[in-house]
Amino acid sequence: MNFNITSISNDELEGKLKHKIDNKTKPKGALGTLECIAKQIGLIQNTLEPSIQNPTMIVFAGDHGIAAKGEVNPFPQEVTSQMVFNFLQGGAAINTFCNLNTMNLSIVDAGVNFDFKDVEGLIDAKIDYGTKNYQEQPAMTPQQLHAAIERGSTIVKEHQSNDCNTIAFGEMGIGNTSAASLLMAYYTGIPIEDCIGAGTGLQEAAIQNKINILSKVYNSYSPKSAMEALATFGGFEIAMITGAILEAAQLKMTIIIDGFIVTAALLAAQAIHSKVIDYCIFAHNSGEQGHQKMLRFLDKVPLLNLGLRLGEGTGAAIALPIIQSAVSFLNQMASFEDAAVSDEVVKR
């Protein structure tokens, strides 16, 4: 479980990237955030000519013990397995955006409460048929947590060995905004009640009930480590994404971070290995209220603010063309010398 993740910081290369960007035929800084992304990806890939190869979205699905009772989630637990079939049939939002942006899409059973047998196209990484209900006991055992991290890591390694250097993660798991809120409170220190939101559409009174239930859960545990917190609150899909993020950073891949749930997995990864953040680009600001606070905690500004509150990796898939735009201007745009354009600023 040892990941070797190095900082991307490199003053010499950063200076050269800045020089290359500043010499493009445009006023200095005129490509705004694209310039920051171009520099970041150059540093990640340790080159002045980065590329985006086989961009891939991996959606991890898993069920949550607490969701069987329907107290914190408006939709029933069965929707998780039903949505897995929808992903496999190409009918979900994430299918549409991946098709549109030519992003490979893999669907993983991390721990859904359904026996898929050998259904075609689904990667079987099942840890169990859903986590335990943390109202009664920790969501998973330490062994299950290790297995989840290991499987997330292995799946990323396979994609990287197939020439993928840019990766994003999505999730499906009814009840997983509750797990993400509990993890957020632990890793950020923000009071639990400020980490909880509407999820898939709870109304005011139901949100208050979710706050009461999850505050009681949060106060009944005192995890001693980042790993113990992840095992306590789960879920399998979140832990697998944590392993996947750690592996992707170790392999120096560019990681596009989606919404509230994926950022909770990143908070766990960052608590395990702080340098992981260097490899991340933040796609969007989710409509789930806690997400803004997570981004503020991480001191990151996301690319988009579209009010998406879906998950599945949708925000990350939508952000891909922006990231590709950054790499394409760095590689293809002419410099002042190439195009014989004067770069002198007229002084009046």
Q: Please identify every residue annotated as catalytic.
A: 312
25 is a contact residue toward ligand NIO (CB under 6 A): no
Under 8 Å CB-to-CB from 117, ≥6 apart: which residues? Answer: none
Nearer to ligand RBZ, 17 or 183 (CB): 183
Backbone angles phi, psi at 91, to 5 degrees: -100, 0
ω into 91 cis (within 30 of 0): no
260 touches, from ligand RBZ, ligand NIO, none (C-beta below 5 to 8 Å by class): ligand NIO
Q: Choose which of 55, 199, 234, 243 interacts with ligand NIO (CB under 6 A).
A: 199
Closest distance of CB 272 from ligand NIO, Å: 21
Contact 107, 122 (CB under 8 A): yes
Q: Looking up tokens 């996301």, which residue turns up? A: 302
Of residues 161-180, those binding ligand RBZ (CB under 6 A): 171-178
49, two tokens: 């000519």
Tell me the number of residues near ligand NIO by CB under 6 A: 13
Q: Are 251 and 166 in contact (CB under 8 A)?
A: no
CB of 199 to ligand RBZ, least distance (A): 3
CA 330 to each of CA 88, 255, 278: distance values in angstroms, whole numbers, following the listed order: 36, 19, 19
Considering the complex, state which of residue 45 and residue 314 has its C-beta at the smaller distance from ligand NIO. 314
Q: Does 259 bind ligand NIO (CB under 6 A)?
A: yes
Asked whether position 311 contacts ligand RBZ by CB under 6 A, the answer is yes
CA-to-CA distance for 304 and 322, rounded, in angstroms? 10
Is 210 near ligand NIO (CB under 6 A)?
Answer: no
Q: Where are the alpha helices (DSSP H) in 139-279?
A: 142-161, 176-188, 204-219, 226-233, 236-250, 260-272
Q: Site for ligand RBZ (CB under 6 A): which residue of 31, 34, 41, 83?
A: 83
One-letter identity of residue 119:
V
For residues 324 and 52, the answer to whether their CB atoms sit within 8 Å is yes
Stretch 288-347 residues interacting with ligand NIO (CB under 6 A): 288, 291, 309-311
Residue from the set 45, 175, 286, 318 that interacts with ligand NIO by CB under 6 A? 286
Q: How far is the CB of 345 from ligand NIO (least distance, A)?
A: 43
Q: Which is nearer to ligand RBZ, 35 or 312 (CB)?
A: 312
Nearer to ligand NIO, 182 or 330 (CB): 182
> Are residues 261 and 171 in contact, defined by beta-carbon separation less than 8 angstroms?
yes
175 binds ligand NIO (CB under 6 A): no
**Is the CB of residue 294 less than 8 Å from the CB of residue 137?**
no
Residues that bind ligand NIO (CB under 6 A): 177, 199-200, 258-261, 286, 288, 291, 309-311
